[in-house]
Amino acid sequence: MKMIRWSFVSIAAIIVALIVVFNIFFFDKILKNTIISSAQMVTGAKVEIDYLKTSFKNCSITINGLRCADKNDYFKNLVDIKRVAFDVRFTPLLRKKVVIDEMSVEGIKLNTDRKTSGQLPPKQEKKYKKQENKDSKFKKLFNLAKEKTIKEANSLPSVEAFNIIQDQIKNFDADKLIEQTGLTSVKEAEAAYADLQKKYTEYQEKIKNNDYQEKIDKAKKLVDDISKTDFNSFNISTLTGTAQKISELKTIKTEFNNMLSDLNNIKKDVVSTVDISKQLKDSVSKDINNIAQKISLPNINVKNISQMLFGKKWVDRVEKIIYYISIVKQYLPEKSADEKELKQVKERALGRDVIFRQKLYPTLLIYKINVSGNTSTSKENVGIDFAGFIKNISSSPSMVAEPITFDINGNNAIQTLVATGLFDHRKYNYEDNITISLNGLQGSILNIEPNDYLPLLDTANVNFAGMFSLNNKGFLSKADVYFNNIKEKDLASISGNLKYLAEVTNTIKSFKVNLEAKTQDSDNLDMNITSDIDKKLSDAISKMFSAKVNEAKAKIQNKVNEITKAKIKEFEKSLQSQKDDLLKNINLETSSIEDITKQITNSIKGK
């Protein structure tokens, strides 16, 4: 019987003890720091782990409180995980293979708030940027798209346009505007008044200058002389004189008839003078239109406003999806040392080796990950409890029979979530597909920044359906978003400049947005965003401001009519006195001439 070499046993015991001590006091910390350091170089932002524990007995690892900051928003966590736990197969570890049959990832939350910045320290950030692929397949396309969407957002109609509208309507002064513009109708009324005044004066002068009374007196004397003539005296000179007087009376009668005709024509002209208000009707209408043009409102073009408002957000979302898929792809090499093991052993000339092949595994293989969590980003938001699985994660997809797939479902009393995906990288022509459906969401979960041109989207109920497809030629991403039950803004709390715009957005209770982004052979990014909010905003603006303009025009019309009627009334009152005097004189002269004419007729007939 051989003697035990106690010196060897002592050394072995010391080595084992050192390994145990190292594991207890150092290994977990080293592994934790290694995971954090590696993850930070992948995400480009801080990664934090509250607790990590390994067990060599069960080959298990448990991680609590895993948080990865968002490199696009350092005060948000891209993912916040409560617990990760899994067991690793021991035998593959001897060949430097990590094989996990089932992993549990619990308490997943996305986009949660951070109390501290998630930005990496300067040295680590510099290191990350060096290894970041700045010439990635889609980076330049997305940069161009971002520049375009920012430019479009900046081209939104200025709120100053609504300020101008408000000032014009609020400070509208019809009197001042009329005074500044001037009224053609009033000028024409003044001209018509002057013409009538001149005409009446000319008629008065004409009547005065005709000296009717002198001729009437002359006619009366002739009639009187003829009535005193004794036609029975047969006095030749007397009869001759009387005959001459009768002839003269006839001439005077003819003159009187002409005078009566003139007076009658003058009377008709005076009585039938055209009504000034009717005469100025067209001029009043022109005045109203000319002044109304002075309050024409600025042209507010809301065409493609959905592109301006949602464009950048859509580009950011699609870019983020592609970015994190690209991270995964970096760690899914197209060809690795694992795949070389699959090659057949070549025959040798002098004989043949008999190899008892062990089961081959990729460097990393996770058969299934059970995931669960909640979509809530804060305590105030209830969110959706979800659960599902991810299958067949591998560092060498071609060594696995099935592609990577995931299926996640969730619901609460109001909301539902369905997400499925497939990542097939087993061949050169890879294909990644993701579909997601969210119903009954609160608008706030979409993180759309408030905008004066949008209604209160945070108060809306939202239904979302989207898809994403990526392959070696390009990608296609689509989404349909429906907002409904949107609450109104409190107009009492809004200051003047934005009040009219708020009135417009309050008319929108629901709208749809259809989004699409795609590339063809990576040559360019084709982005299309359509929404019925464009037409709804345009119609609401047109309706509201047209009513305001029509109201102002009605004020102008009333004021112009009031001014012109007052002027016409003043002129007519002044002219009426002159007109009455003229008609009085015409009637008096006409009556006198008619009386004397009758006397002349009777005198001539009697002789």
pLDDT in tens, 16-72: 555 555 555 567 788 888 888 888 887 888 999 999 988 877 888 999 999 999 888
Which own/partner contact pairs does 405-414 have at CB distance under 8 Å and 24+ positions apart? 408/371, 410/375, 410/384, 410/385, 410/386, 411/384, 411/385, 412/382, 412/383, 412/384, 412/385, 414/440
pLDDT at 13: 55
Q: What is the DSSP letter of 233?
A: S
Contact 72, 338 (CB under 8 A): no
Is 164 within the bounds of a domain? no
Name, in order, each residue with C-beta under 8 angstroms of 24's C-beta and a sequence gap of 6 or more.
none
pLDDT digits (tens, 9 = 90+) for 496-524: 657 777 888 888 899 888 888 887 665 67
pLDDT at 416: 93
- How far is it, in rounded angstroms, from Cα 441 to Cα 433? 23
pLDDT at 161: 52
Is 16 within the bounds of a domain? yes
Examine the pLDDT at 173 and tell me if it is beyond 70.
Answer: no
- Which uninterrupted H or E stretch holds 197? helix 184-209
pLDDT digits (tens, 9 = 90+) for 519-565: 766 567 777 778 888 788 777 777 776 776 677 777 777 877 787 77
Examine the pLDDT at 397 and tell me if it is beyond 50.
Answer: yes
pLDDT at 159: 46
pLDDT confidence tier of residue 178, bands split at 50, 70 and 90: low
Q: Count the alpha carbons within 13 Å of 202 in the hemisphere toward its beta carbon.
A: 9
- How far is it, in rounded angstroms, from Cα 360 to Cα 92? 9
CA 591 to chain centre: 80
pLDDT at 140: 57
174-181 helix and 533-606 helix, angle to the nearest 10 degrees: 70
pLDDT at 319: 63
Token reading at 30: 């080293």
Q: What is the DSSP letter of 571?
A: H
Examine the pLDDT at 257 and tell me if it is beyond 80.
Answer: yes
pLDDT digits (tens, 9 = 90+) for 452-485: 777 888 889 999 999 988 887 778 888 898 999 9
* CA dist 176 → 180, 547, 569 (Å): 6, 21, 22
Name the residue with higher pLDDT: 368 or 152.
Answer: 368
Is 201 within the bounds of a domain? no
Q: How many CB atoms lie within 10 A of CB 308?
A: 23
Indicate the pTM of the whole model.
Answer: 0.61
Is 170 within the bounds of a domain? no
Name the residue with higher pLDDT: 605 or 149.
Answer: 605
Is 156 within the bounds of a domain? no
Is 66 within the bounds of a domain? yes
Examine the pLDDT at 103 and tell me if it is beyond 80.
Answer: yes
User: Of the given ranges (114-118, 292-296, 421-425, 570-574), which has the lowest mean pLDDT?
Assistant: 292-296
Contact 305, 534 (CB under 8 A): yes
Residue 48's domain spans which residues?
10-132
pLDDT at 389: 95
CA dihedral 574, 577, 580, 586 (to 10 degrees): -90
Token reading at 203: 């008629």
Contact 216, 599 (CB under 8 A): no
Terminal-to-terminal C-alpha distance of the chain: 197
pLDDT at 484: 92
Token reading at 252: 């005077």
Q: What angle do CA 345, 351, 352 make, to 5 degrees?
A: 30
Share of the chain above pLDDT 70, in %: 70
pLDDT at 368: 94
Q: pLDDT averaged over the chain?
A: 75
Alpha helices for 228-294 (secondary structure H)? 236-271, 276-279, 281-292
pLDDT at 104: 95
Range list of β-strands (E), 43-195? 47-55, 60-70, 73-87, 98-100, 103-113
pLDDT at 406: 95
pLDDT confidence tier of residue 433, bands split at 50, 70 and 90: very high
pLDDT digits (tens, 9 = 90+) for 179-223: 666 677 777 777 877 888 888 888 888 887 877 778 878 877 877
Instruction: Of 391, 399, 401, give the one whose Cα is nearest residue 334.
Output: 399
Beta bridge partner(s), residue 435? 420, 467
Chain length of the chain: 607
Beta bridge partner(s), residue 599? none
Examine the pLDDT at 150 and tell me if it is beyond 60.
Answer: no
Name the residue with higher pLDDT: 291 or 71.
Answer: 71
- How far is it, in rounded angstroms, from Cα 398 to Cα 337? 12
Contact 389, 368 (CB under 8 A): yes
533-606 helix and 212-227 helix, angle to the nearest 10 degrees: 30
Is 101 within the bounds of a domain? yes
Is 277 within the bounds of a domain? no
Domain count along the chain: 1
Contact 603, 250 (CB under 8 A): no
pLDDT digits (tens, 9 = 90+) for 566-591: 877 777 777 778 888 888 888 888 88
- What average pLDDT does range 436-451 have in this prediction? 80
Q: What is the DSSP letter of 296?
A: P
